[in-house]
């Protein structure tokens, strides 16, 4: 049987298409050789567990180390430090019995001092082991705060007591860097920062995304086993839409090869990738839902909301908040702060406006001309009326209050063009705007959204939209300006006019 693209759990050699995970984290080997304690953090489903399993397997086969992977996620909702310590020590013992030869297994845990059960087991194991021990602890940051602090303290105690017997090398693995582990002992607005409870770590490592060539290499494995070709355009489009995020890369390919294009004689095209992308966005698999859940956290909202409006980050936003959201995989900070990839860029606004989309009754047929073309001006006039009637009740209930107007318009456009076109967004902190590219049966429309910040807002919007139109090679576009001033009536806020930009582009301006 041919292998499959994996979207659930770690990859298994011989069962799944996969790339050597060590390739994306070559530094780990050197740190293990040196006997260092280090951190590996990366977003969900980027290959961390696959890497750990492969690394432990390779180390054990080489014969110089005793390597073991355990996940402590089963203690996510545990209560009580002593019981948790005994559970971790017991699990270490059980997993060593499952995966290691008898001479290299951990001893049975002792309950004489539960507060230090993990430390005592690791010290006893190291003292009896014929080889240096490498311990890879997965999902560490899922532990409750008091249990996490106690565990980190035990590990630090063993590290600083060396050369007394203890683990040779240890990796803490999770979504976040240790410096971002937060505890109830501190207010939510503060960070552990340099006073980390695990200050013996030598370095924090992360797994990078796939490169374009690696996406091609992964997809080529399917071609080699089935004969079905991914066209160059399909590979490029998959990489562009995912930015190489491993789960998304595999999810697109799985949707195409197992659901959409099962005829192995037919090549896979960029259009197939685009269709699969829409299916993933609509389906919202577990990977995507786990990200969507994070959107309602205050520290996530402080980063995502300015991206949705093109505003600058507020001065009081902590750098740790940005690091946290980046480590979740929601944003990238290179070269600018923006949503991590185009698929997430579509998912986030849709997820935040899901209820609104379902309550909008507008259909594209209300704004199509007899020849089937879309009348964008008519659509935006209808939105003005819709926004004036409903915005007060909706915006007050939005977590994302500042981004509310943008999100409502995005929801309106999405609802209207669903099934017949697409809405593509360009979002970035500090741009001062949001650019939307609407496609409808061969027509293309550029729509720019801005919040009124002063008398220069309209002129700035016209200039910015004109540059966007140049990039899209369009002669005209639409500028929507939201006026949030409470002392202005809707009669003053709602207007429509046409202006010409300095470079000759026709701009239709709508107030809301």
**What DSSP designation does 368 have?**
B
Which pLDDT value is given to residue 435?
Answer: 92
Measured distance CA(107)–CA(127) in Å, rounded: 10
User: What are the residues facing 437 on neighbouring strands?
Assistant: 424, 446
- What is the per-residue pLDDT across 302-351, written as a single tens digit (0 to 9) for each? 999 999 888 888 766 667 788 889 888 999 988 788 999 999 998 998 88
CA neighbor of 268 nearest in space, from 235, 294, 293, 244: 235
SS3 content of the chain, % helix, strand, coil (to 5): 50, 15, 35
CA neighbor of 389 nearest in space, from 372, 412, 418, 365: 412
In degrees rounded to 5, what are phi and psi of residue 281? -65, -45
Place of tokens 């698999």: 285
CA neighbor of 414 nearest in space, from 256, 276, 281: 281
User: What are the residues facing 173 on neighbouring strands?
Assistant: 40
Measured distance CA(173)–CA(205) in Å, rounded: 10
Measured distance CA(287)–CA(233) in Å, rounded: 26
Topology classification of domain 212-283:
Helicase, Ruva Protein; domain 3 (1.10.8)
485 contacts: CB under 8 Å, gap ≥ 6: 452
Q: Report residue 40 as tokens.
A: 């590996």
Provide the H-helix boundaries in 362-430. Answer: 376-395, 404-417
CA neighbor of 419 nearest in space, from 433, 435, 399, 440: 440
Measured distance CA(468)–CA(470) in Å, rounded: 5
Measured distance CA(421)–CA(397) in Å, rounded: 29
Q: Report residue 225 as tokens.
A: 């086993």
21-205 matches 212-283 in fold: no
Measured distance CA(9)–CA(44) in Å, rounded: 10
Which pLDDT value is given to residue 200?
Answer: 57
- Strand-by-strand arrangement of the 496-500 sheet: 421-426, 434-440, 443-451, 476-482, 506-511, 496-500
Buried b (16+ CB within 10 A) or exposed e, 366-382: ebbeeeeebebeebbeb
Kindly give the parts of the chain with pLDDT less than 50: 182-197
442 contacts: CB under 8 Å, gap ≥ 6: none
Which pLDDT value is given to residue 184?
Answer: 35
Asked if 241 and 278 touch (Cβ cutoff 8 Å), the reply is no
Which pLDDT value is given to residue 201?
Answer: 56
In degrees rounded to 5, what are phi and psi of residue 239? -65, -45
CA neighbor of 289 nearest in space, from 45, 25, 4: 45
Asked if 302 and 314 touch (Cβ cutoff 8 Å), the reply is yes
Architecture of the domain made up of 21-205: 3-Layer(aba) Sandwich (3.40)
Which pLDDT value is given to residue 181?
Answer: 55
Element counts in the chain: helices (H) and strands (E):
18, 13
Which pLDDT value is given to residue 191?
Answer: 37
For the chain, the domains span 21-205, 212-283, 353-511
Pairing mode, strands 338-339 and 331-332 = antiparallel
Measured distance CA(390)–CA(413) in Å, rounded: 16
């Amino acid at each position: 049987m041919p292998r499959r693209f994996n979207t659930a759990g770690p990859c298994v050699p011989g069962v799944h298409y996969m790339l050597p995970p060590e390739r994306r984290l070559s530094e780990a080997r050197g740190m293990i050789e040196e006997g260092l304690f280090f951190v590996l953090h990366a977003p969900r489903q980027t290959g961390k567990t696959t890497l750990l399993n492969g690394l432990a397997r390779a180390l054990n086969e080489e014969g110089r180390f005793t390597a073991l992977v355990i996940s402590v996620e089963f203690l996510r909702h545990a209560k009580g430090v002593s019981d948790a310590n005994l559970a971790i020590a017991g699990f270490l013992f059980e997993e060593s019995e499952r995966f290691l030869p008898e001479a290299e297994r951990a001893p049975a845990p002792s309950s004489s001092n539960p507060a230090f059960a993990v430390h005592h087991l690791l010290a006893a194991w190291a003292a009896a082991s014929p080889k240096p021990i490498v311990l890879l602890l997965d999902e560490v940051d899922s532990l409750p705060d008091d249990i996490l602090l106690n565990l980190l303290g035990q590990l630090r105690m063993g590290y600083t007591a060396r050369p007394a017997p203890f683990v040779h090398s240890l990796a803490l693995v999770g979504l976040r860097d240790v410096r971002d582990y937060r505890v109830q002992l501190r207010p939510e607005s503060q960070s552990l920062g340099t006073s980390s409870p695990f200050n013996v770590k030598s370095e924090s490592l992360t797994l990078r995304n796939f490169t374009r060539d690696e996406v091609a290499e992964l997809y080529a494995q399917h071609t080699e086993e089935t004969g079905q070709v991914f066209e160059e355009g399909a590979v490029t489009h998959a990489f562009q839409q995912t930015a190489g995020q491993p789960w998304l890369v595999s999810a697109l390919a799985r949707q195409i090869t197992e659901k959409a294009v099962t005829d192995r004689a037919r090549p896979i095209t960029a259009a197939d990738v685009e269709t699969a992308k829409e299916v993933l966005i609509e389906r919202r698999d577990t990977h995507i839902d786990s990200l969507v859940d994070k959107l309602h956290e205050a520290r996530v909202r402080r980063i995502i909301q300015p991206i949705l409006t093109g505003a600058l980050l507020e001065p009081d936003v902590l750098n740790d908040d940005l690091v946290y959201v980046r480590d979740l995989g929601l944003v990238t900070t290179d070269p600018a702060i923006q949503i991590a990839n185009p698929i997430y860029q579509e998912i986030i606004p849709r997820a935040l406006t899901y209820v609104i989309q379902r309550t909008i009754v507008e259909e594209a047929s209300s704004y199509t001309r007899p020849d089937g073309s879309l009348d964008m001006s008519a659509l935006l006039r209808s939105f003005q009326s819709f926004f004036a009637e409903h915005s007060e009740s909706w915006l007050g209930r939005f977590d994302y209050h500042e981004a509310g107007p943008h999100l409502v318009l995005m929801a309106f456009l999405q609802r209207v063009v669903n099934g017949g076109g697409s809405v593509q967004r360009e979002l970035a902190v500090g741009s001062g705007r949001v650019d939307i590219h609407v496609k409808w049966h061969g027509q293309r429309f550029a729509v720019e959204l801005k919040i009124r910040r002063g008398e220069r807002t309209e002129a700035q919007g016209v200039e910015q939209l004109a540059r966007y139109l140049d990039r899209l090679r369009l002669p005209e576009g639409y500028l929507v300006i939201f006026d949030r001033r409470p002392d202005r009536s809707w009669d003053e806020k709602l207007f429509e006019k046409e202006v010409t930009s300095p470079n000759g582009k026709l701009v239709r301006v709508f107030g809301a």
